[in-house]
Structure 1
């Protein structure tokens, strides 16, 4: 079996053959492509420990996303969760059924509108959500500490600005405060 690590390291920083298709598209800043690649690697490692914890229960990233938002926003309507996650009813139904059947989440009728389905994490669901939050917050905290003084605010603004402009108000409404206040509090 080929040792891919050795092969990758031996090619590290080797000139890129422009005809190979590995160079950035014409007019694209190569540094931006490097940032894209770093985002791929960062996401891979950001999710690794949480994925392993979820796998212990036969769950995956889709379950994590649902559990995260339900835990952070108790009583979240199913319709709002669909809007947050930008997924189909069919996709959510499969994941939600498994989370409900396994006792991670409960669905309750709305108090004013009984047709609404409100979602709540169970005690078991809260415990798992906190475990996953702890794993990922630790990684983010370590990365911010290594990034240096003032990186928290820059990182908060960067991540927020990665969100489509039309979606920023929705996202900001879900955060514990306005993005500028969050960015300033961590700078």
Structure 2
């Protein structure tokens, strides 16, 4: 059942294939978050805290507005999570230098260590999966993940080309 125009066999678009992909995403996310969830539970934090710690670590001096844009949560939800993280000294908030209304967020050394501990098992899972799959599969995975994202996020990742994709082109 090949599309005569493109030469592509669309069997991967059958209902069962799509359902299996959805299920695989759920299982993968469960396993991806399991170890960090256990660590967070021990210190009284949850996944929302993890996401904030991760993105503040990835984007030093991120504004609250930009973080809200990434996480797509309400100001009220972020405020509760930030209060916890500031109180526990994982994150520090500073006023913007040009705009004093702006709040800039950074990890403290304690926050950097927590981010490292939470991310390391996830990094290892991804590295293992990438090694097993190979560069071509990694590029395919990247295309699928970017394809799931909405346009604004897709643009962010379309600009950055990871090393695996560059190696696959050689």
TM-score (ref. length: structure 1):
0.77
* Residues 1:140 and 2:156 are matched in the alignment: no
Residues 92-118 of structure 1, C-alpha deviations (whole Å, 9 max, x = no match): 000000000000000000011111000
Specify whether residues 166 and 149 from structure 1 end up closer, same or farther in structure 2 by C-alpha distance, changes over 3 A only: closer
Aligned residue number for residue 114 of structure 2: 128
Aligned residue number for residue 161 of structure 1: 147
Structure 1 residue corresponding to 2:18, chosen from 20, 32, 37: 32
Specify whether residues 145 and 88 from structure 1 end up closer, same or farther in structure 2 by C-alpha distance, changes over 3 A only: same
**Greater mean deviation of Cα atoms: 150-159 or 42-51:** 150-159
Instruction: State the shift of 1:153 in Å.
Output: 1.4
Specify whether residues 54 and 186 from structure 1 end up closer, same or farther in structure 2 by C-alpha distance, changes over 3 A only: farther
Specify whether residues 147 and 121 from structure 1 end up closer, same or farther in structure 2 by C-alpha distance, changes over 3 A only: same
* Residues 1:57 and 2:43 are matched in the alignment: yes
SS in structure 2 opposite 1:112? coil
Residues 107-133 of structure 1, C-alpha deviations (whole Å, 9 max, x = no match): 000011111000000000001111112
Which whole-Å CA distance do the structure 1 matches of 2:56 and 2:134 have between them? 33
Which whole-Å CA distance do the structure 1 matches of 2:167 and 2:60 have between them? 26
Aligned residue number for residue 159 of structure 2: 178
Which whole-Å CA distance do the structure 2 matches of 1:142 and 1:156 have between them? 16
* Residues 1:96 and 2:82 are matched in the alignment: yes
The 5 Å alignment of 1:62-81 reads 62-81=48-67
Aligned residue number for residue 72 of structure 2: 86
Specify whether residues 76 and 147 from structure 1 end up closer, same or farther in structure 2 by C-alpha distance, changes over 3 A only: same
Q: Which runs of 5+ in 2 are unaligned?
A: 1-12
Aligned residue number for residue 93 of structure 2: 107
Give the aligned CA root-mean-square deviation in angstroms.
1.8
The alignment of Structure 1 onto Structure 2 pairs a total of residues equal to: 155
Q: Which runs of 5+ in 1 are unaligned?
A: 1-26
